[in-house]
Structure 1
């Protein structure tokens, strides 16, 4: 298991807050090409093969004109080019204040489509019955533009993968080797940047707390952790399938008796 120390210095914390980027750029050339829908734009940007998730049967990197997308969603209908497939979407439910839109795709009520907007990015999910598309932010900014991954999951292939290699759920563990009682709050965001877990804990010296199963959503999950209501930092862990070579990553948060570095964070592949 690998361990890292979390400093109690606020300035240092802001510098060590880790942003995990799943993409790498090959070369120095960067260019985007306006998509036919005026929303999703091709970009000369390479997703490293080792960073692509197992359920990404097809994928590519894109940029998104978020203003055009919000305008189309507000109008109630839109057409998107998802990889090589044209998809039409009708919106029947929206909460503009929360940045949430829900509709259906290609005229089929069962084909669910959801769009969620955060402060700095958005994500979407479109179910087409036999396969689905998702667009998720990488949190990598190039030329002042967010890089997104648009990927397709084939349900038959996913079912075969699930039978052969079941998903190992996301969990974490908190321990206290200090001689003082501490408080810790943990928020977990899935790969689509949706908040899926939020909990506050009070932990006594010598106590160990094991989380419930949090997620079986494949991919990298982001943790936002606050120590004693004051010191904030971020970590991440990946949900994966259980194979002979490994499975999901598990985070360990351990309070220690050190005023400068009050916590150690470890990560282990189950």
Structure 2
């Protein structure tokens, strides 16, 4: 990270804070962005981002704070310009900022949908689009985006969040392909760290949640995500782009990405009736089951 300039959104708490601190400890100058909102995106508090910056400076690093919302396109262009003015350029973008507005889908309001999509998906676009101009001119740069198993695997009560996070995976893939000619990379991390966002995920009874809280705090900590983010942002990952990686406890994962896995062909073409006769039986064992994240990751993280 020596000599690099990194923008980390959502850097006031949790995973974003730990990434900002570790990047600074490894030599990067950091723009710590966080509007200090509550988990559902309400309110504004400068303290979290300011505290991250103060800790970096106290440890001998260089950092400035930005308190604007990632959902505002013009504000994010201003933030990137602020970073370039303060530190000379921008080398790294970590799209980490997020909110939750959980609801079972048939009860989800437009406002709940819109708010989450704007912060996660629009926010990732807004910061990335502004930084892309600098990356293209200097012919280098790295994007690290936070996605989620809610989108990659599945979750209950989070259709807005899942859609936004899976959209970010598509955005990252496009960035990796389109900007590779400028030596720019883009990757995703699907974290499983105990944080206020993870803690709020629905699907378990209050008793089940309470029984697992202490264990999860010990086994899935935000600082366990930071080393992977720092690696992906560094020149050591020069050959890694367009990938989706996971981090859970002290385990890392590489996720596959959607490709055809079965084919069916009829020389005389298809009718609805022949599709119904052949497709279910031929593909039944290959269908992706309706599993939640906790079904796929059934073992303890250590």
Range of TM-score over shorter length: under 0.3
Instruction: Provide TM-score, normalisation by structure 2.
Output: 0.26
Instruction: Provide TM-score, normalisation by structure 1.
Output: 0.28
Give 1 or 2: higher helix fraction.
Answer: 2
- Specify which structure has the bigger relative contact order, considering alpha-carbon pairs within 8 angstroms and separated by 6 or more residues: 1
Give 1 or 2: higher strand fraction.
Answer: 1
